[in-house]
Amino acid sequence: MVTEVVKIENLTKHFPIVGGILQKTIGYVYAVNDVTMSVREGETHGLVGESGSGKTTVGRIIVKLTNPTSGRIIFDGEDITRVKGEALRNYRRKVQMVFQDPYASMNPRMTVKSALLEVMKIHSMHKGSEYEYATKLMERVGMSEEHLYRYPHELSGGQRQRVVIARALSVEPKFIVLDEPTASLDVSVQAQVLDLLKELQKQYSYSYLLITHNLAIIKYISHRTTVMYRGVWVETAPTQELFKNPQHPYTIALMSAVPVPDPTLRREKIILKGEPPNPIEKVVACPFQDRCPYVMDVCREKMPPDTDLGSEHLVRCWLRA
């Protein structure tokens, strides 16, 4: 049986824009407008979309760094959208988030050891055996005990990202949001980190939400993938199926636009017209209407319905409805 570790339903997040002498709300940044998705036990679910499409905000909502405007978050079958106090502390132990820039997410004045022990202390984990657990974690991420005594600037980019991953693992979470975890790394090092994430998942059944704009990484490591546009999910499918059979015009354009390092392949690219959307405009009807080559009247009037294409492939587009 498949168990869904995390499920989000119709999530929205609108950031108020405050202005004027009275500091009143004069508008909103419509960051997340309707996202529904789930992550299963031991699964990597990829979340792709262009810059500003709301991916990080979705991740931050799930780990409760910010509250949604509306919608629900279900964790292990329980609605945790509004949990507080002890229940929230408990939740924080089960979910972790790894950010893009490993340098920015580490305190430059703290050794690796202090950083790891601090997190364990905050969550009262491994009482009395924190140090032993820290050395175990270092091993787990392919580093050695000696690295515990280093400061962030004494580590390479790949090593720093490993430490950040080790820190996330130190509270033994079930679920980890990985926000562009290798974006600051060179390809030769990126491969090491991606394989580490895969290996850890195999051994400990972690569930990942992998946020990235890199489709090649999605193809390499995600089991299922959701595509977002302007804060709305527009297509979701098992990754292999999505690559073989993309259905949403944005997904199709995105896949055709990715440069492929094979100079013998000559592909026709779909070049989209227009600019990225403005997030302060409310999303009514199809979020992709301004750039879609197939736009019809109905697309400007109503949000396309969720269309189930079978084999867990869902799309939101009037062409497929």
Partner 1 sequence: MLLSVRDLIVEFYTYRGIVHALNGVSFDLDKGEVLGLAGETGSGKSVTAFSIQRLLPANAKIVSGKIVFDGVDLLELSEEKMREIRGQRIATIFQDPHTYLNPVFKIERQFLDVLKYNDPEIKALENKKEAERIAFEKAVEMLKKVKMPAPERVLKMYPHELSGGMKQRVLLAMAYSLTPDLIIADEATTALDVTIQAQVLEIMKELQKEKNLSVLLITHDLGVIAENCQKAAIMYAGRVVEIGDVKKVLISPKHPYTQGLLKALPRTDKEVELVGIPGTVPDLVNPPTGCAFNLRCPYAKEICRTKVPPYTLEEGSTVACYLYGGK
182 binds Mg ion (CB under 5 A): no
Q: Return the one option of ligand SF4, partner 1, Mg ion, none that residue 219 interacts with (CB less than 5 to 8 A, by type).
A: partner 1
57 binds Mg ion (CB under 5 A): no
Q: Which residue has the tokens 């995600």?
A: 222
Q: Return the residue of 56, 105, 161, 201 that touches Mg ion, per CB under 5 A.
A: 56
Please report how close the Cβ of residue 45 comes to ligand SF4 at its closest, in angstroms.
Answer: 22
Cβ-based nearer residue to ligand ATP, 276 or 305:
276
31 binds partner 1 (CB under 8 A): no
46 binds ligand ATP (CB under 6 A): no
Please report how close the Cβ of residue 264 comes to partner 1 at its closest, in angstroms.
Answer: 6
The interface with ligand ATP within residues 228-287 (CB under 6 A) comprises 279
Please report how close the Cβ of residue 192 comes to partner 1 at its closest, in angstroms.
Answer: 4
Please report how close the Cβ of residue 219 comes to partner 1 at its closest, in angstroms.
Answer: 6
Please report how close the Cβ of residue 253 comes to partner 1 at its closest, in angstroms.
Answer: 6
Interface residues with ligand SF4 (CB under 6 A)? 249, 286, 288-289, 292, 294-296, 299, 304, 317-319
Piece of 50-58, 81-89, 151-159, 200-208 that binds ligand ATP (CB under 6 A): 50-58
3-state helix/strand/coil string of the chain: CCCEEEEEEEEEEEEEEEECCCCEEEEEEEEEEEEEEEEECCCEEEEECCCCCCHHHHHHHHCCCCCCCEEEEEECCEECCCCCHHHHHHHHHHEEEECCCCCCCCCCCCCHHHHHHHHHHHCCCCCCCHHHHHHHHHHHCCCCHHHHHCCHHHCCHHHHHHHHHHHHHCCCCCEEEEECCCCCCCHHHHHHHHHHHHHHHHHHCCEEEEECCCHHHHHHHCCEEEEEECCEEEEEEEHHHHHHCCCCHHHHHHHHHCCCCCCCCCCCCCCCCCCCCCCCCCCCCCCCCCCCCCCCHHHHHCCCCCEECCCCCEECCCCCC
31 binds ligand ATP (CB under 6 A): yes
105 binds Mg ion (CB under 5 A): no
Q: Return the residue of 79, 139, 154, 186 that touches partner 1, per CB under 8 A.
A: 186
Please report how close the Cβ of residue 149 comes to ligand SF4 at its closest, in angstroms.
Answer: 31
Q: Are 10 and 36 in contact (CB under 8 A)?
A: yes
**Could you give the CA distance from residue 147 to residue 164 in angstroms, rounded to a whole number?**
13
184 binds ligand ATP (CB under 6 A): no
Q: Are 141 and 166 in contact (CB under 8 A)?
A: yes
190 binds partner 1 (CB under 8 A): yes
49 binds ligand ATP (CB under 6 A): yes
List interacting residues with Mg ion (CB under 5 A): 56
List interacting residues with ligand ATP (CB under 6 A): 15, 29, 31, 49, 51-57, 213, 279
